[in-house]
Each structure stands twice: as C-alpha cells, then as structure tokens.
Amino acid sequence: MKQKQAPLLNLDFWDKDIETLERKKIKELQLENLNYSIERAKKSEFYRERLKNIKKIKSFEDLEKSPFTTKEDLLKNSPFDFITTDLKNIVRVHSSSGTTGRSKYIFHTKKDIEIWADLVARCLYMIGMRKEDIFQNMMSYGLFTGGLGLHYGAEKIGALIIPAGIGNTEKQIELMRELKTTAIHITPSYLLYLAHYIEEIGLSPSEDFNLKIAVVGAEPYSENTRKKLETIFKINVFNCYGLSEMNGPGVAFECPYKDGLHLWEDSYYMEIINPKTNKIVEEGEEGELVLTTLKREGMPLIRYRTGDLTKIIKEKCNCGRTHRRIMRIKGRVDDMFIVKGVNIFPSQIETVIMGFPEVDKNYQIIIDRKQGLDILTIQVEIKKEFFKGEINELRNLQEKIRDELKEKILVTPIVELVGPGTLPTTTGKAKRVIDKRRL
C-alpha cells in the first residue's frame, strides 16, 4: 500500500504586494500608521493624558518616549476607557482572563473585524489552504479569539468550515472522517491527545483521514513536538501565534519554510525589550515582545507588553515575504519557574522529552518542596510498545531522559515513566506545570 506523505509546499501569496513589500516601504508605512494609531488612541479616556505629550513621530526612536501599556492597565481601568469611538460603532468584544481571574476586554469596529479576517486569510493562504479545503475549527467559539478569528479568515478564502468548536473527541473524529476534513485548527496539547484517542480506537492518524494541514497554536510547543505530530499524522503542522489584545490568532504565522513566524508588520509594530531593564535589545537577542497595533480603530494599543519571550530572526526568508520573522515563543516571562535557584522554562523540558522516540504524547511537570529542598518531577507518558518492555530497558530510558534533562536545565529531575493515557488531558490550553510550593 502506498504510504501517505505530507503534501508538497505551495508558495503562493494572498496579497503579494503587501507580503513582499520592500523593507524601506514597510518602514515608511509603519511610521505613517504609528502616527495614525497614536492620534486615534488619544481619543480614548486611557490614552488621552498618557500620550498628550507625544507629537508627530518622525522616527521609531520617538515611539520609545511613550510609556508601555500593560496587562494590569487593561485589568485596572474600566474596559470602556480604551475605546476611541462611540459604542454604537463597536460590533464585537472578545476577552481573555488575566491571572487574577479578571477579564481583559478588547473591542472591535466592523473595519477591525474585516482587517483581522483578511490577515488570517493571508496566513491560511500562505500555508496552502484554498477554497477546496474542508476546515475543521477545533477551537472554542465565543469570547476566546481562536474560534471566530480563524473562522472568518477561512471563510474569506472560501473554504468549507466545520465550526466544531472544542472537545467531544469522538464527534471530532466522526466529523473528520465523514466530511473528509483536510485542515484543522487546534492546540498542540489537544492534537497530541487526538492522536492518542485515534490510536486507542484502532484507527491510524496517518492512513484513515484526509488531513493535510494543521494550524496549531494558542500555547507554546517545541520543534520536537511539531516533528512528532507531523510524523504521526503525516501532515504539515504550522505554528500560529497571537493574543486577544492584538485581535487574536494571526499576529505571526509560519510560512511553508517553517523556520520562524512572519509577524505582519503592516498591522503590528514590534519591539523586543529586556523585561528587567525595559530597554530594547539588539536585533536577534531574546526578550519580551512588545506590540503596537497599526490599523486598529476601536481600541488601539500602544507598546503593549505581551509577556511573551522570543527573538527576531535577522535573515531574509526564502519564501520571499519581507515581514520579519520571530522565533517560536519560548514561553511567557511569568512561565519561568525557579528550582534550586536555577531558572527553567517548561519549553526547555518539552524540547528534551519530545526528542525521545519512545516518548508518547503527554507529560507533566511537578515542583514540590520537602524539608526545604526543591524537588522537580517530570512525569512522561511512554508509548505502549516500550512501556510493555523489559524493566531494565525502561530504567535505561528513564536515566537517559534524566541525564539529557540535567544537561539542558542544569537541575537533576526525578523522571517518572507512565503508560499512555495516564496523565490528565485538556482540549484547550494545557496546564503542564503544577507548582505545589505555591498551593
């Protein structure tokens, strides 16, 4: 039987003029739009005072005079303080919850929604989605931006959309098989779980479906996880980044070369800062991504601190797009945890464990403190065929994972190998780290 292969890459453009605009022209456009955004923002209660001394911006350095906008700003003020127009011109609100449980509200005019949908269409077209595609959107529809955001972008392309929403795995599989789904939108943790579920019910993720493309985002995942998913399903997996405050998905997206995410610089102005000193870092250095909306009418945000860690890739991309790329997000500044005085990001752990072919699809990080000492435990699901193996082989594997982790994170963890399907799963964003020291 002929084995399914991941389809070849399609190098076509949704909006070639904009996507391949000369760098010089992109900068001119950004400067013009920055001035538009600042003037627009001044119409809001929140920015009126804050930006009153910011006159016309003539260079990007001028922008550095304006203060950052933070998540706390969004949480502390009345949601309406950020609106720049009469409420009757606002057609939609999305929200995402802050760590305190309060919500950040983002308001959109009709034009904002239209521009966002076009941006998402640009992303989907870039990775080869066309009107012939059958697109199953497995993200929550509602206040979360993942569902509606991708929905309207896919609709612009003319794809047939299955607005499946999140969860109900059995139904998702039924839809995928009966309607011959070719593209899906899903979180990495749910896609790993979906693969596990498909195998459990005796189907093959690569042979029993028509899938070609998965748009995967909304939470960090490593390159090794992408490779694992592409091998299991024999499809192309593309990373999609965004946050509600900047509309939602489609802020940055991988092209067919899958080497960093093009951040759409006609719509967003990016800065990368050192989160401790708040100073802009050298291009190519890692730091916190700060974004300014360049086109948004209803609720522009100026120098918004995303809390996400990444770096700019300096080299030109072979796809011909001129919008600069960012590295896949390492995590959030506040995802970092400290064990025995060492700073660790969950993504560093994921990169190591997902690199082992014996590792299945789920893992969990548990941090505890006993008699004043930090204890880091990594629970890892192992594929059925290996889990049934010799106890000595398992012990060897456990030691290999532990040693490689130690080399990467500089702390020796306890590694616990468990069977597939043992650890808790989620259909949305996964909670990988349980820090019992904070409970």
Closer to ligand DLL by Cβ: residue 146 or 420: 146
Told to check if 219 binds ligand DLL by CB under 6 A, we report yes
Stretch that binds ligand DLL, among 55-63, 170-178, 216-224, 352-360 (CB under 6 A): 216-224
Closer to ligand DLL by Cβ: residue 105 or 386: 105
CA pseudo-torsion sign 303, 308, 314, 320 = negative
What distance in Å separates the CA atoms of residue 104 and residue 102, rounded to the nearest whole number? 7
- Each residue of 320-335: b (16+ CB within 10 Å) or e? ebbbbbbbbbbbbbeb
- Each residue of 97-124: b (16+ CB within 10 Å) or e? eeeeeebbbbbbbeebbebbbbbbbbbb
Closer to ligand DLL by Cβ: residue 79 or 389: 79
CA distances from 103 to 143, 146, 301 (A): 10, 16, 16
The answer for residues whose C-beta is within 8 angstroms of residue 38's C-beta and 6 or more apart is: 51, 54, 57, 66, 300, 302
Told to check if 293 binds ligand DLL by CB under 6 A, we report no
Among 47, 125, 197, 241, binds ligand DLL (CB under 6 A): 241
Stretch that binds ligand DLL, among 32-40, 241-249, 275-283, 312-320 (CB under 6 A): 241-249
Told to check if 243 binds ligand DLL by CB under 6 A, we report yes
Measured in degrees and rounded to the nearest 5, phi and psi for residue 383 equal: -60, 150
| Structural element, H or E, at residue 382 | strand 373-382
Stretch that binds ligand DLL, among 43-51, 85-93, 121-129, 137-145 (CB under 6 A): 137-145
Closer to ligand DLL by Cβ: residue 4 or 296: 296
Minimum CB separation from ligand DLL for residue 58, in Å? Answer: 31
Told to check if 260 binds ligand DLL by CB under 6 A, we report no
Told to check if 308 binds ligand DLL by CB under 6 A, we report yes
Closer to ligand DLL by Cβ: residue 109 or 306: 306
Q: Would you say 396 and 361 are in contact if contact means Cβ atoms under 8 Å apart?
A: no
CA distances from 400 to 252, 361, 410 (A): 36, 18, 15
Minimum CB separation from ligand DLL for residue 242, in Å? Answer: 4
Tokens of 319: 């796809």
Among 89, 96, 379, 426, binds ligand DLL (CB under 6 A): 96
The answer for residues whose C-beta is within 8 angstroms of residue 61's C-beta and 6 or more apart is: none
Told to check if 128 binds ligand DLL by CB under 6 A, we report no
Told to check if 248 binds ligand DLL by CB under 6 A, we report yes
Stretch that binds ligand DLL, among 114-122, 214-222, 223-231, 395-403 (CB under 6 A): 214-222
Closer to ligand DLL by Cβ: residue 206 or 244: 244
Told to check if 217 binds ligand DLL by CB under 6 A, we report yes
Told to check if 254 binds ligand DLL by CB under 6 A, we report no
One-character DSSP codes across 5-39: -PPPP----SSHHHHT--HHHHHHHHHHHHHHHHH
Closer to ligand DLL by Cβ: residue 51 or 213: 213
Told to check if 329 binds ligand DLL by CB under 6 A, we report yes
- Which residues 143-172 are close enough to bind ligand DLL by CB under 6 A? 144-146
Q: Which of 97, 98, 34 is nearest to 66 (CA)?
A: 34
CB atoms within 10 A of CB 266: 20
Q: From the CA atom positions of the chain, what is the Rg in Å?
A: 22
Minimum CB separation from ligand DLL for residue 318, in Å? Answer: 21
Told to check if 358 binds ligand DLL by CB under 6 A, we report no
Minimum CB separation from ligand DLL for residue 375, in Å? Answer: 27
Stretch that binds ligand DLL, among 26-34, 141-149, 264-272, 404-412 (CB under 6 A): 141-149
Lateral strand order in the sheet of 325-326: 160-162, 134-137, 183-186, 213-217, 236-243, 248-254, 261-263, 325-326, 312-313
Among 214, 240, 344, 409, binds ligand DLL (CB under 6 A): 240
Told to check if 332 binds ligand DLL by CB under 6 A, we report yes
Told to check if 427 binds ligand DLL by CB under 6 A, we report no
Told to check if 218 binds ligand DLL by CB under 6 A, we report yes
Minimum CB separation from ligand DLL for residue 249, in Å? Answer: 4
One-character DSSP codes across 182-251: -EEEE-HHHHHHHHHHHHHTT--TTTS----EEEEESS---HHHHHHHHHHHTSEEEEEEEEGGGTEEEE
Tokens of 331: 């995590």
Q: Which residues bind ligand DLL (CB under 6 A)?
A: 96, 139, 144-146, 217-220, 239-244, 248-249, 306, 308, 329, 332
